[in-house]
Amino acid sequence: MRLRALLSSRLLPLATTSLVTLALSTGHVAAAGDQSSTTAPADRVSADDLSAPTRVVTLGTGTPDIVEGRSGTSTAVIVDREQVYLFDAGAGFMEVLGKFGDDGGGIFPDTSKYPGTVLPTYLDKLFLTHLDSDHILGIPELLLRGWVLERNHPVRIWGPPGTRTVAEGAIEAYQPDIRHRLGSLPIGKEAPYTGIVEELASEPGVVYRDRYVTITAFDVDHGTWEAGEAFGYRIEAPDMTIVISGDTRPTPNLIEHAQGADILLHEVMSTTGLATLPQEWQGYMLDAHTTTRQLADIAEEIDPELLVMIHPLFLGAPEDTLIQEMTDAYEGNFALANDGDVFE
Q: Which is nearer to Zn ion, 72 or 104 (CB)?
A: 72
Question: Min. distance of Cβ 154 from Zn ion in angstroms?
Answer: 26
Question: Min. distance of Cβ 258 from Zn ion in angstroms?
Answer: 19
d(CA 174, CA 183): 14
Which three-class secondary structure string do you get for 239-290? CEEEEECCCCCCCHHHHHHCCCCCEEEEEEECHHHHHCCCHHHHHHHHHHCC
Cα dihedral across residues 33, 36, 40, 43: positive or negative: negative
Q: Which is nearer to Zn ion, 134 or 210 (CB)?
A: 134
Q: Is residue 46 packed enough to be buried (19+ CB in 10 Å), middle (13-18) or exposed (0-12)?
A: exposed
Question: Min. distance of Cβ 332 from Zn ion in angstroms?
Answer: 24
- The answer to whether residues 243 and 258 touch, using CB atoms and an 8 Å cutoff, is yes
Q: Which is nearer to Zn ion, 128 or 298 (CB)?
A: 128
Question: Min. distance of Cβ 134 from Zn ion in angstroms?
Answer: 4
Question: Min. distance of Cβ 265 from Zn ion in angstroms?
Answer: 13
What DSSP assignment string belongs to 124-179? -EEE-S---GGGTTTHHIIIIIHHHTT--S-EEEEESTTHHHHHHHHHHHTHHHHH
d(CA 272, CA 322): 8
Residues found near Zn ion in the complex (CB under 5 A): 134, 247
Question: Min. distance of Cβ 63 from Zn ion in angstroms?
Answer: 5
CA–chain centroid gap for 332, Å, is 24
Closest CA to 236 of 267, 208, 198: 208
Question: Min. distance of Cβ 138 from Zn ion in angstroms?
Answer: 13
Q: Which is nearer to Zn ion, 88 or 141 (CB)?
A: 88
Question: Min. distance of Cβ 58 from Zn ion in angstroms?
Answer: 14
Q: Which is nearer to Zn ion, 53 or 90 (CB)?
A: 90
Q: Which is nearer to Zn ion, 82 or 319 (CB)?
A: 319
d(CA 319, CA 335): 12
Q: Which is nearer to Zn ion, 198 or 247 (CB)?
A: 247
Phi and psi based region of residue 192 (left: phi greater than 0; alpha: psi -120 to 50; beta: remaining): beta
Q: Which is nearer to Zn ion, 192 or 312 (CB)?
A: 312
- The answer to whether residues 191 and 24 touch, using CB atoms and an 8 Å cutoff, is no
- 243 phi/psi in degrees, rounded to 5: -125, 130
- The answer to whether residues 156 and 194 touch, using CB atoms and an 8 Å cutoff, is no
